[in-house]
Every structure is written in structure tokens, then in C-alpha cells.
Chain A
Amino acid sequence: MSIDWDWAYVFEILPELLRATLITIRISLLGFAVALVAGLLIAMARMNRNWVISQPALFFVEFVRLTPLLVQLFFAFYVLPVLGVSLPAEPTGVVVIGLHYATYASEVFRSGIRAVATGQWEASIALSLPTFAVWRRVILPQAIRPMIPALGNYLIQMFKDVPLLSTITVYELLGTANLIAGSSFRYLETLTLVGLIFLLLSYPSSLLIRYLEIRLEKS
């Protein structure tokens, strides 16, 4: 069997695919920002001594983890508008994927925050620092450094999950590739390129994270 690979076609569709790659990257970064902010809030809520605050946060985490991301996307895109909440496809995808990963990020935050010595909390109280300053100035700066590798891995994982958004009409990389291949019928080149682009972005990122991990261990 000979493989019929068309280089001219590759160069013809490459600009379109690279443009779509930028959309995938944009969704990953925005989704990750949502995951970080929401993840931190969830972690703080879960660590709150008042169960009226900690229990709903726990329920949310369990709910999100025990249902598939694809179902969550479909629900947000097709059901929420029926209930009167409607957003365009891409923001919907960003929020859903962001909140999904927020539950994972919240666990990273929780263990990172717990790893900060109790003496740091006690010193903060002894200095009468306001609660906000305790978190922002004392606890989080110490908690975040060791969390960077774990959070970085979730960023890569999220980046690889972005193609799921093609199912709710977001034309990120895979969705765009499908559209192109659907009219040219050249799936071989198109999907090979998609795979290569993902690999070319994920692999250096994971190397970078491993490097950070090693550096953190040394210090």
C-alpha cells in the first residue's frame, strides 16, 4: 500500500490550521485562568471552618468530578439556554472547561496551602495582619511555588481537552480540521497535522514542567 501524501495540500491548509491553533491556545489560557481563580476560591471555601461554606464547595467538586466533561459541555450549551442562560459557544466552553479543571486545581491549592507551616499562620495572627493580607502576602506566595509543576500538568491536560469543544460548535483546531477535511476528503494530511501540532506544543511544555520540578526539588 502506498501512502498518497500531498505536500501542496499541506501548505495550503497550514495557515488555516495555525489560526485555529491560536484559538485552541487562547481557550486553554482563558480556561486555565478560570481554573486558577475558581480553584483557589473552591480551595479556600473547602478549608473554611463553617460547613455552610465548605459543604457546597465539596458538593460542587464531587458533582463536577463524577460527571463527564462532555456531558457538562452539552448541558451548558444546549440546556442552560432553555433555562434562560445563554452564552456564545466559545465563552461557554471556556467557563465549563475552566470550572472542570478548577476542581482539580482546588486539590492542588489545598495541599499546597496545607503544606505551609502552621507557624506562618500563627506569626500572621501575632502581627494582627488582616485576613486578606495573610492569604495574599504570607500564605499564597509560599504555597504557589511548589504547586507550579502540578498546575502546569493540568494546563497541558486541559489543552488536550480543548478539542472536546468542537462538539459544541467551537472551531478550535480539531473542529476546523474536521471542517476542512470534510470538504476536501483529505483526512490523512489534515488530522496528521493536527496531531503533530498538539505534540509540538505539549512536548516542550512538559519538558519545561519537568525542568521546573527538578529545580524546585533542588532548592
Chain B
Amino acid sequence: MKQVRKEFGGHAVVKSMDLTVASGEKLVIIGPSGSGKTTILRLIMTLETPDNGYIEIDGELLGCAWDSGRITKNNNKNLRAVRSKVGMVFQHFNLFPHMSVLDNIMEAPTRSLRMSKEEARERAIGLLQRIDMVGKASSYPGQLSGGQQQRVAIARALAMRPSVMLFDEVTSALDPEKVGEILQTIRELAAEVNMAMVIVTHEMGFARNIADRVIFMDHGEIVESGPPDEVLGAPVHPRTTAFLKAILDR
């Protein structure tokens, strides 16, 4: 991500952001609400288009193309291909309510990757085993608890085998006692899969445990970036210190 800028109504929400995530790296983004964390994930997921700058995934430009040294906008042809390397898990799950758990997970492999039904089903069942929900394959999202729905949403995103997964405060819509199970699922994935993760969270223990690197953001800018022990344990910037203190006091 290079010099990426995003404005809403003239207000710069993300200001000239440079950010590189190594393959397999687990990056945690923290910061006060409104600092632009969600917007960064949405830019990477192509749910928003940058006003300036560009984003590359595995060396390929997202939604635009190089044209004699310049960036041209709206290259829809490569958009879907590059986009499919990114997966996202949302705060509010966004499962398809009219499809069973199994169909939710099979949908993208069959429609986006044009995989055969049998192969997609096999992959989906494998994922359900990993999140320990094979028994719920034919249930509908409405019949599941929030924690179960979020696990299905994670499995659904994983079914595309993305090279980077984005998690946007995936536990903040859950009951406190369900938070642990989701974080455990993500932790297991992080250990198992060689897949980059960009995680926005307010769970500092989890952040410290999973992160290779932590970024603290404020007002659309990176204030501090480094290994979790430094950023979370011994922050140098006063704004980081203030934020961490506010979180602990909550």
C-alpha cells in the first residue's frame, strides 16, 4: 500500500498511508475509534477506492493498472482476480441468512473459483471440522449463536484460500463469554496457515499474543509501529501511551 489517501466529504480519513504486509505476517492495527482502521481494511478489500495512491497484492495492482509509468483507474478485469486473494471477516458477520452454513461456505469456491460442487463441499466440510461445527452444516445462520456465526464467517472467507485475511473487530459484536472462542479460532489459524493477517482489535492480550507487528493509528496516520512488546509494552509515543491506558481503564 503506497501513499494511500481516502477522504469522506473533504475530510481525510486515511492520510498518505504507506504499509507493507509480508506474506504470512500477522499485523495488528490498534487505535481509537474513528482513526481510520476500518477504512484501511475496506480499501484493501476494494470496498472503498483510494483517492490517491495504490495498493498491490502479491505484486499485482488492485483495481488499476500501470500505463506507461502512470496508474490508470478502474481496471475491472484484474479487480476480481486480485480481490480474490483477499478475504475479510466483518464485525457483524454478514452471513447469507437464506443459505445453510454449508452453502454459505461453498458459495464462493463454486461461483468465484468455479470449483466443482463435490470439491467445494469437501473443502467446506474440512473447514467445518476445523472450527468444530460439522454438526451445524445444515443449520441456517439465524439458528446459531453470534460466536458460531462468526466462526462460520471465518470459514467462509478461508474457503477462498486468500493470501491475506482481514479481521475487523470480529469480536466486538459478541457476548463477552463468546469472545474467547473466536480469538482461539483465529489463533489456531494463525499457527496453522501460512497466510498474512491484518487484524483490527481492541483485545490487547490477543494482540500481543498473535502479532508479529503492531501498528498504532490515530487520525488516519500511523503513529507508532513495531513488535508487540515495544508498541504495547513500552510505547514511545505519548498518544499510544494515552490510548493504551484508556483501554486498560475501561
**Is B45 a contact partner of A125 (Cβ separation < 8 A)?**
yes
Q: How close is A135's CB to chain B, nearest CB, in angstroms?
A: 12
Q: Which of A123, A128, A137, A141 contacts B83 (CB 8 A)?
A: A128
Q: How close is B57's CB to chain A, nearest CB, in angstroms?
A: 12
**Is B108 a contact partner of A142 (Cβ separation < 8 A)?**
no
**Is B90 a contact partner of A119 (Cβ separation < 8 A)?**
yes
CA distance A68 to B83 in the complex (A): 49
Q: How close is A119's CB to chain B, nearest CB, in angstroms?
A: 4
**Is B98 a contact partner of A127 (Cβ separation < 8 A)?**
no
**Is A119 a contact partner of B108 (Cβ separation < 8 A)?**
no
Q: Which of A117, A119, A122, A128 contacts B160 (CB 8 A)?
A: A128
Tell whether B156 is near chain A: CB-to-CB under 8 Å. yes
Q: Collect the chain A residues with CB atoms within 8 Å of residue B46's CB.
A: 125
**Is A137 a contact partner of B90 (Cβ separation < 8 A)?**
no
Interface size class of chain A, counting residues whose CB lies under 8 Å from the partner chain: 10 to 19
Q: Which of B47, B92, B97, B156 contacts A127 (CB 8 A)?
A: B156
Chain A, 107-135, CB within 8 A of any chain B CB:
117, 119-120, 122-123, 125-130, 133
Secondary structure type dominating chain A contacts = helix
**Is B47 a contact partner of A122 (Cβ separation < 8 A)?**
yes
**Given A128-B83, A128-B160, A130-B80, A123 contacting B95 (CB threshold 8 A):** yes
**Is B98 a contact partner of A123 (Cβ separation < 8 A)?**
no
Secondary structure type dominating chain B contacts = loop
**Is B94 a contact partner of A128 (Cβ separation < 8 A)?**
no
**Is B94 a contact partner of A137 (Cβ separation < 8 A)?**
no
CA distance A133 to B107 in the complex (A): 9
CA distance A189 to B241 in the complex (A): 91
Q: Which of B87, B92, B98, B111 contacts A126 (CB 8 A)?
A: B87
Q: How close is B50's CB to chain A, nearest CB, in angstroms?
A: 16
Q: How close is A127's CB to chain B, nearest CB, in angstroms?
A: 4
Q: Collect the chain B residues with CB atoms within 8 Å of residue A138's CB.
A: 96
Q: Which of B95, B97, B98, B108 contacts A128 (CB 8 A)?
A: B108
Q: Collect the chain B residues with CB atoms within 8 Å of residue A125's CB.
A: 45-47, 83
Q: How close is B87's CB to chain A, nearest CB, in angstroms?
A: 7
**Is A141 a contact partner of B98 (Cβ separation < 8 A)?**
yes
CA distance A207 to B53 in the complex (A): 59
For A126, give the chain B residue with the smallest CB separation: B88
Tell whether B72 is near chain A: CB-to-CB under 8 Å. no
Tell whether B145 is near chain A: CB-to-CB under 8 Å. no
For B95, give the chain A residue with the smallest CB separation: A123
Q: How close is B109's CB to chain A, nearest CB, in angstroms?
A: 9
Q: Collect the chain B residues with CB atoms within 8 Å of residue A117's CB.
A: 94
Encode contact with B along A153-186: 1 for CB under 8 Å, 0 otherwise. Answer: 0000000000000000000000000000000000
Q: How close is B62's CB to chain A, nearest CB, in angstroms?
A: 12
Beyond the given A119-B90, A126-B86, A126-B87, please list 17 additional residue pairs across the A-B interface where CB-CB is below 8 A: A117-B94, A122-B90, A123-B90, A123-B94, A123-B95, A127-B107, A127-B108, A128-B83, A128-B112, A128-B160, A129-B107, A129-B112, A130-B112, A133-B107, A133-B111, A133-B112, A138-B96
Could you show 6 A-B contacts with beta carbons less than 8 Å apart? A117-B94, A120-B96, A126-B157, A127-B87, A130-B112, A137-B96
Top 9 A-B residue pairs of the complex, sorted by shortest distance between their CB atoms? A127-B108, A119-B94, A123-B94, A128-B84, A126-B88, A128-B112, A133-B111, A128-B83, A141-B98
